[in-house]
Amino acid sequence: MPEVTRDLLIVGAGAAGLTAALTAAEHGARVLMLTKGHAPDSSSWHAQGGIAGAVGDDDTATLHAVDTERAGRDLCRPSAVRVLTEEGPERVRDLIALGVPFDPELSLEGGHSRRRVSSVDGAATGWAVTSVLGRRAASSELIATSEATNVLALWVSGGRCLGVVTPDGPIAARATILAMGGAAALWARTTNPEGQIGDAIAIGFAAGAAVADLEFMQFHPTVLAGSRLLLTEALRGEGATLLDEKGERFVDELAPRDEVARAMVRKGSVRLDLRDVDRARFPGLMAEIEKAGFNPAIEPIPVSPAAHYTIGGVVTDLIGRTDIAGLYAAGESAATGVHGANRLASNSLLECLVFGRRAALAALDEPAAPSRPEAPPPAPPARVASAELREQVWRQAGVMRDPADLTDLARSPDPVAALVARFALARSESRGVHYRIDAPTTNQTLEGHFVLRPGQELTLEHWS
């Protein structure tokens, strides 16, 4: 057995991983953080608009909870929403105390009934937050980070997680937290960094953990064609319009994301007209658009929807515990049920802060590893998402889904692609971000979370 030199192993260095690491170190734990790539390879680093949290004078956790549940289309787990919205303001204040330079005004985003989104320079929130947290972690003697370390499997012995398996061998710890982000880069059109292909789902499920809600992939409507550049909803809030091939508007630009995305897919080719927007308010984005070869002052720019946020993941309770003792999950990797069938804008960074902290505190209570464990498994080959696979997932599990396509995708050799298809087939209705062309309405009998445990059938569970 490799020597256990760390109390806590955290896979992932985005907002969830960094929050967990700093929380554990605050309590004197020795932490090792592993990441597949480098800092800019996390979705957290790229997050734009901000972090929701009822910190305004006219706001309450209850109002935030009502908005979250409305967006989630009758599927949010109420206890998780309570935790998120009640603990959220304190976590935002923690970031202020650490020096995150939030803008003086709170922003209003789609689906929120109050101004409650804290942002940095309008659209640089993720970079600012991960930079501050990352610097803090780097200066802690209790936190070590190993970059470019691809975690390939979990090491489970006697039903207990003892650590992870990497190409360089096993790493042991008293507890392990999966903070590995989502799976949106498994789709050809995505806003996520390319490594975000659902490794937490793949290794968690392979090791025996339950997964849930994998049919719910949130698509962002306005992503610059041919790129991963997300064009924030705030642009549409400031007057940007969506135009079809004839140059005519065809949808309420401020309708929910899933409705706008479907209207765009039905049209085929769509452009975003930024000519009437005060473009000086979005200097970074305008520079990126121009770098990509477009001039938004002169002509509308081509956009299309892209896979953006993974609502499902490894099933956890409200303190991040999975089905496997000693294994936790937090952030986009976890399925707490907090987002229901549709995530409210800016609730995901908040989820990383709230549940990342909770998971770390719970993981600190794990007992020491057994003295005579089973040997770790050999390192399996790294999972790779080829361009063909990503095109197939986009085509067969995209914005509008056909059961024949899903049946085909369910036979994919890629475990996550196949799981997404199985879940999307089981949910024979349309709800939130999941749209089935053969069942375009909501079916009340499917009000629940689809859960799959290795070796069992999919079951519909009701989470309170």
Ligand X SMILES: Cc1cc2nc3c(=O)[nH]c(=O)nc-3n(C[C@H](O)[C@H](O)[C@H](O)COP(=O)(O)OP(=O)(O)OC[C@H]3O[C@@H](n4cnc5c(N)ncnc54)[C@H](O)[C@@H]3O)c2cc1C
Chain positions contacting ligand X, by CB under 6 A: 11-17, 34-37, 41-44, 46-51, 125-126, 150-151, 179-181, 191-192, 195-196, 199, 230, 309, 331-333, 346-349, 352
Q: At residue 27, what is the residue type? A: H
Other beta carbons within 10 angstroms of residue 412's beta carbon come to: 18
Supply 424's token pair: 């999307």
Supply 415's token pair: 């475990």
Distance spanning both ends of the chain, measured CA to CA: 40
Q: Is 114 a catalytic residue?
A: no
Supply 376's token pair: 């770790």
Q: Output phi, psi for 351, to 5 deg.
A: -55, -40
Q: Is 101 exposed, middle or buried (0-12, 13-18, 19+ CB in 10 A)?
A: exposed
Other beta carbons within 10 angstroms of residue 401's beta carbon come to: 23
Dihedral, 311, 301, 400, 337 alpha carbons, nearest 10: 10
H helix intervals, 339-450: 347-363, 387-396, 403-409, 415-426
The H-or-E segment that residue 311 falls in is none
Min CB(108)–ligand X separation in Å:
13
Cβ–Cβ under 8 Å, residues 296 and 235: no
Q: Are strands 8-11 and 175-178 parallel, antiparallel or unpaired?
A: parallel
Q: Which residues are catalytic?
A: 257
